A and B are shown apart, each in its own frame.
Chain A
Amino acid sequence: MSSFARKLFSHARLAKWAVSGPPFVFLLLFFVLPGAIMVIASFRYPGEFGGLAPLTAADPGTLQGFTLETYRFFFSDFIYTEIFIKSFLVALATTLLCLIMAYPLALLIARSPKKSRDFMVLLVILPFASSFLIRVYAWMILLGPQAALSQIVNGLLGALGIAPVQLLFSPFAVLISMVYVHLPFMVLPLYTNLEKHDPSLLDAAQDCGANAWRRFWQVTFPLSLPGVFSGSTLVFIPVLGMFAIPDILGGTGDMLVGNLIKEQFLGTRDWPFGSTLSIMLTIAVLLFVWIAAKLGSTRGRYV
């Protein structure tokens, strides 16, 4: 290798580091390091007034050092697993509802004239212009007992002789708000996928004798599966860790994993157990992503 080439090579390496260095350092400081702290914290005892118990203490009677206690505790009471399962079910229901609502919308946008597509996409992301919390509080007003929706529903139920129901602080309120907040995350990947479909494939399918129904299920839907999987992942994972919506709109019985974790850190001040729950959630999410990727890759062989 000539000295010139070596110089060029080292310059290229320098440039590579200059570009990838800052994000690398950022992730190291604010993702890897806290993650490592959390893993270590999950194997320790809680401090008396929050925080962690010291690793070494002069008094042998006090809690100190490393332990598996928090993990034992997690599996000792089924209530925690139950909350995990419930959170999974809520996330699953939200994902499915989002998919059912987002698909026709994404298809409509993708098949609209090019000029109106950008405007429609803008409408889909418009809710992001206002704060997430404000939108959730807005649902609090919309679902409140004095609001029109409650009045109408309970009016109808009353006419049928059924006792009035409370919409707010219910699983219903949690679900409707979860779907509302996450819908754009399903619409956008679906639209991005559907927009790229070659329209001549639908012509070809029709030419081969497929009616509209079969054109959708034989051509459009299978080809959109990568979009379905990425949309589902983008909805499922945040919903699984969500605590604000159940906090604000849910009742006392609507606690999800996110609330449980938040409670450990801010309420009962049991950091090790909060860390354990976080790690269990991370493992569960990774498992889900792995399964989704597996499903996606067997379907996506042709890409």
Chain B
Amino acid sequence: MSLLELKNVTRRFGDFTAVDNVSLNIEAGEFFTLLGPSGCGKTTILRMIAGFDLPDAGQILLDGKDLADTPPEQRPVRTVFQSYALFPHMTVAQNISFPLKMARIPGKEAAKMLHETLELVHLADKADAYPHELSGGQKQRVALARGLVNRPRVLLLDEPLGALDAKLREEMQVDLINLQKEVGVTFVFVTHAQVEALALSHRIAVMRDGRVEQVDEPSRLYGSPQTRFVADFIGHINMLEAQVLEPAHGQFRLGVSGLGEIMTQPLHGVAVGSKGTFAIRPEQVRIGVHGEIQELKNHFPGTVRHFLYRGDVTVYKVSLANGAVIEALLPNSAPGRAELFRVGDAVNVGWRHDAGVFLHE
């Protein structure tokens, strides 16, 4: 039995269906992420787990027990709010102790728990500070500490890194992973930042318009997206309209109009003739003038249209014979690599036969 189960949960606001028949199983000790663009229903799911909102249909089960009749203050579930929602009139120690006070945990035990939690988030020296005296990262850690102090079954995190700057955000990601490992509490994390989701999660549920598109481990989600939306939302991807052709010489083939054939990995359960999208990540696309590219199973001539120098990598946009533009990513791993090709250069792009995925319509 999963720790937390959502069974066919639906939530409507007037005519708008925010959450549409969502079923999820979240395991004990898991770092589970709900990922999707704003308005996809991820925060509504979080609020329903916390108890601030109730499903119109379906059930939310914790340890197999329906939570419908349990008010938020009695659920063994804590939330880290996007705005942190620290009590401005209480010190760091008072903020973190608040759940202990509400649970009427005796003084000595509460003091011990407070002390341990302060150590856990490295805030022992800030115990007597007020929230307005803290930096964004410190506030964030207080909010986490308040959520974890009496070890809830589930910690819900609503875009907790959203308000931090990029550098701090990366630091906090590492901290979050370590923290979750250390306390072993199940984390349900909500974000629209796919990089964050990939870096932190054990499993990710990608959501769109109130529905779950795909639930998978980060590497599988990135490497084998099952829908166009998932492929497009997570990272960058090139898409080519394609049709499944008869396999030849033991090779699975896709036809792309105006371009030719693409050799691809085995296609299962897809009928010959069916249409869809061939999707391939920019870092899987190789770019060159001739030579090594020609040795790849798939290679096409093209013209460099743009290049974007990003420091660590250079992104080339190459237009192909059929007008499609393919992005190729070249790591700037050696001096001079950044200016390998110029706009207007005739180049070849290519990829291995096992790179990319076919997304059936």
A-side interface residues toward B, CB under 8 Å?
198, 200-201, 203-211, 214, 218-219, 222-223, 299, 301-303
Contacts and interface: CB of A to CB of B under 8 A. Distances in A.
Interface stretch (B79-87, B164-172, B240-248): B79-87
Given A301-B130, A302-B131, A207 B87 contact: no
A227 to B, nearest CB: 13
Interface in B72-112: 72-74, 77-79, 81, 83, 85-90, 98-99, 102-103
Interface of B: 50, 52, 71-74, 77-79, 81, 83, 85-90, 98-99, 102-103, 130-132, 146
A228 to B, nearest CB: 13
B87 A201 contact: yes
Nearest to B143: A204
Contact of B132 (A198, A205, A214, A302): A302
Given A203-B52, A299-B89, 20 more contacts: A200-B81, A201-B85, A203-B72, A203-B79, A203-B81, A203-B85, A204-B81, A204-B87, A207-B50, A207-B72, A207-B78, A208-B99, A209-B74, A209-B102, A210-B102, A211-B73, A214-B102, A222-B89, A302-B88, A302-B90
Contact of B85 (A204, A218, A301): A204
Contacts of B78: 207-208
A209 B89 contact: no
29 contacts: A200-B81, A200-B85, A203-B72, A203-B79, A203-B81, A203-B85, A204-B79, A204-B87, A204-B146, A205-B87, A205-B98, A206-B52, A206-B71, A206-B73, A207-B50, A207-B72, A208-B98, A208-B99, A209-B73, A209-B74, A210-B73, A211-B73, A222-B89, A223-B88, A302-B88, A302-B89, A302-B90, A302-B130, A302-B132
Nearest to A210: B102
User: Which 7 residue pairs across A and B have the least CB separation, nearest first?
Assistant: A209-B102, A204-B85, A208-B99, A200-B85, A302-B88, A207-B79, A302-B89
Contacts of B99: 208-209
Contacts of A208: 73, 78, 98-99, 102, 146
A223 B103 CA distance: 22
A117 B83 CA distance: 25
A70 B48 CA distance: 72
A219 B102 contact: no
Contacts of B77: 207
A174 to B, nearest CB: 37
Nearest to B50: A207
A207 B77 CA distance: 8
Nearest to A201: B85
Contacts of A203: 52, 72, 79, 81, 85
A198 B83 contact: yes
A205 B103 CA distance: 12
B142 to A, nearest CB: 11
Contacts of A301: 130
Contacts of B87: 201, 204-205, 218-219
Given A302-B130, A302-B132, A206 B72 contact: yes
Select the residue from A204, A205, A214 with max chain B CB neighbours within 10 A.
A204
Nearest to B103: A209
A200 B72 CA distance: 13
Contacts of A211: 73
A115 B181 CA distance: 47
A223 B85 CA distance: 13
Nearest to A211: B73
Contacts of A210: 73, 98, 102
A198 B87 CA distance: 10
Contacts of A205: 87, 98
A294 B87 CA distance: 22
A95 to B, nearest CB: 23
Nearest to B130: A302
A302 B71 CA distance: 30
Contacts of A214: 102
B73 A207 contact: yes
A297 B217 CA distance: 53
A223 B83 contact: no
A222 B87 CA distance: 10
B85 A198 contact: yes
Contacts of B86: 204
A268 to B, nearest CB: 51
Nearest to B102: A209
Nearest to A223: B89
A211 B81 CA distance: 19
A173 B208 CA distance: 66
Interface centre among A210, A223, A302, A303 (most CB of B within 10 A): A302
